[in-house]
Amino acid sequence: MARVCGLMGFLSSTGGAGDRVEALAAGMRCARHRGPDEAGTWQDAEVAFGFNRLSIIDIDHSHQPLRWGPAESPERYALVFNGEIYNYLELRAELAADHGAEFRTEGDGEAIVAAYHFWGPDAASRLRGMFAFLIWDTQERVLFVARDPFGIKPLFTAELPDGVAFASEAKGLRELTGAPAAVDTVALQHYLVLQYVPEPATMDAAIRRVESGTHVTVRPGEAPLHRRYFHPRFLPRPLRSAADRDRLTAEITEVLDDSVRAHMRADVTVGSFLSGGVDSTAIAALAKRYNPDLMTFTTGFERQGYSEVDVAVESAEAIGVRHVVRTVSEEELTSTLPLIVWYLDDPVADPALVPLYFVANEARKHVKVVLSGEGADELFGGYNIYREPRSLAPLIALPDPLRRGLATLGRRLPRGFRGKDLLRRGALDLEARYYGNARIFREDQLAGVLRTYDPERSFRDVTDPVYARSLGSDPISRMQHVDLFTWLRGDILVKADKMTMANSLELRVPFLDPRVFEVASTVPPGEKVSGQATKVVLRRAVAGIVPPHVLHRRKLGFPVPIRHYLAEGSYEWARDIITSAQTDEYLDRDAVLALLDAHRAGDGDWSRPIWTVLVFQLWHAIFVTGALAPKVPEPVYPVRL
C-alpha cells in the first residue's frame, strides 16, 4: 500500500461531516501532485477522509481510504496514510502470530491499523518508517493521528468552528477554512532569523503543524490531546580501547546497510540522489548492493564553482551506476521560484530548494522513488559549527569578567577584522550563541527591517525549551539535539519532502531510521568532530564503501550562486518583487531595497537576507493577497516505472 501521498481528514463536532466533502475535494485537488495515481474518499456522519495516492507497494490493491478491522468487525477502522513503513512485513507476521490478525492486502497500511487495534497509541513507536496518518475508530468514535519521529512527512492541522482538520498540505486546509492565509507576526520574526518557521507554528496564524514524534487523540467536540512518543537523547558511550572503537564503527556500518536494505523495499524502481559528499555517496553505494541497475541523479548550476557534478560523475563511475545530470540556469531559478513557493506551503528561504526541485523533476522521468542522505549531519556531527566548542574552549575557560572584556574589544574592532566574531561568540553561553545552521538577520538588524519587530521575542523562545531537555549533555550533543527539533524538521526535511512531492517523487532517508539513531546517539564527541574533520566515525564506517576521492571531501550539497545572481543578472528581478510586494505592513520596503543596492555595490554579502525576504514576499502574494497565481503543471506520470 505504500505511498508518499496526500491526505486530508475532517472530524466534525456537530455530526455534519458531509457538509465538508466538497471543500475537502477541493483541498485534495491542491495536493494532486502528491498522489497522481488515484484518489479516494470516505465519510460517515462525523468524519470525512480524502486521499491522493502515489502507488509504490501493492500497486493494484491497498486503495485508500482503507477499511480494516478484526474478524468480528472487519470495517471498524478507516485509515488514510502518507508514508512508508519499512518493517511492515515483520509487523504483519508478529500481529498474525501473536494476535491472529488477518490481512486482505499485501501493503503496509493494514499493519498500521492492526497495530493500533492491538497495541493502542503505543503502535506509533513500533513503526519503522516515515509517516503521517489518521485512523478513525467507528466504534469508539475517536480519531487517532500520528507523525513519524523525525518529521519526515508533513502534517498540518486547523481547528474550525465545526471541527478539526488535518492535511498533508496547508493550502488544502485553506479550502476548509474558506479564508486566505493571515500572517503570524511571531512566526515571521522567527523566520527572518532562522530562514524557516519553527514547529508547531506556520506562517499562517490559522494553521499549525502536528509536531514530529507526536500522536494526537481527538473525539468529536473535544480539544485534541497531543502526546510526544519520541524523546531522542544523545548518550555517548565511553570508548576505552581500540576494540571499543572498532566495535562502534562496525555497528554503524551494519545498521546503515540494514537501513538501506529496508528502504529499498518497493514494487517500483528505486534510484538515489548523488552529490559530491560522503552521505549520499554512501547511500548510493549501499543501494547498489540491492539494485544492480541503480540510477543516480545530481544537479548543478551553469556558473563555475557552483556544481558538484564532476565529483558526482566520478563517484557514479566508481560505484558502477548509471548517472543523470540536470543543469539549472539562472533564468530557470528566477522564473520557477514562485511555483516552488506554491509547492512549499510555508516559506523556507533555503536556496538549495531550487536545484532540489529540478533534480527531482529529472529523476521522476526515470524512477518513482529516490534515496537521499539527509540526517547524517545531525546524527553523526557533520556540520563545521559542531567544531566550535573545541575552537572556543580557551575562551570559554576564562573567568567571566575577562570573557566579557574580550567581547567588548571584539565589538570595537572593524567589520571584517579576523577574530572579531570569535571574541563575541566566546563570551556567550552555548544557549545564547547557537540556534542552528542558518542565521539570517541578527536581532539588531531586525529592528530596521521588520515593522512588527518585538524586542521581547527571540530565537531563544524556540531553542531554550529544547536545550532544557539536554541539560547535562556535552555541548556537541546539545547542538545536535537542538538541530533535530529545529533545523532538521524546519528546513532540511521540508525542502526534501516538498520538492520531491512537487514532482510526484518519493524520497526516502535511510539515515533517519530509529535503528540508525539508536547507534548514532551513542557516538562520543571525539568520534563526531576532530580538529580538522567532521563525521569522524561515519567516515571510518563507510571507508570501504565510498570511493576514496569522496571520503574526506567537504560536502557542498547543492550550492546556489544567489550572491552573484542578485548582484548581477537577477538584480532587477529581485527589485521588482520587492517594490510590487504588498508587505509594507510587515517590512520596511526602503530598508530592504537599501540592502539590495548595498549587495550590488559590494558593500557586504546580503544575498541570504534578501533571498529570505523575497521568498516571504512571494508567499504573501500567493497565499495572502492572491496577487500571484503560479501556473501549476498537471502531474502526468505513469503509475509504474
Q: How far apart are CA 270 and CA 10, in angstroms?
A: 33
Grid cell at residue 492 = 532540511
**What does the angle CA 110 – CA 114 – CA 120 come to, to the nearest 5 degrees?**
135
Q: What share of the chain is helix, strand, coil (3-state, %, to 5)?
A: 45, 15, 40
Q: Which residue among the candidates 1, 4, 5, 47 is catalytic per the annotation? A: 5
Helix, strand, or coil here: 390?
Answer: helix
Place of cell 519532502: 497
What does residue 247 show for φ and ψ, rounded to 5 degrees? -65, -45
CA 617 to each of CA 202, 356, 496, 577, 585: distance values in angstroms, whole numbers, following the listed order: 15, 21, 22, 7, 12
Grid cell at residue 528 = 563526531
Does the annotation list 108 as a binding residue? yes
Does the annotation list 373 as a binding residue? yes
Does the annotation list 372 as a binding residue? yes
Helix, strand, or coil here: 166?
Answer: strand
CA 52 to each of CA 6, 25, 39: distance values in angstroms, whole numbers, following the listed order: 5, 10, 4
For the chain, the residue count is 641
5 catalytic? Reply is yes
Helix, strand, or coil here: 396?
Answer: helix
Q: Burial code of 352-375, b = ≥16 C-beta within 10 A, e = fewer? A: bbbbbbbbbbbbbeebbbbbbbbb
Among the listed residues 416, 370, 136, 159, the one whose alpha carbon sits nearest the alpha carbon of residue 275: 370
Q: How far apart are CA 401 and CA 32, in angstroms?
A: 60
Q: Burial code of 512-531, b = ≥16 C-beta within 10 A, e = fewer? A: bbbbbbebbbbbbbebbbee
Active site members: 5
- Binding site as annotated, residues: 108, 372-373
- What residues are designated binding site for ATP? 372-373
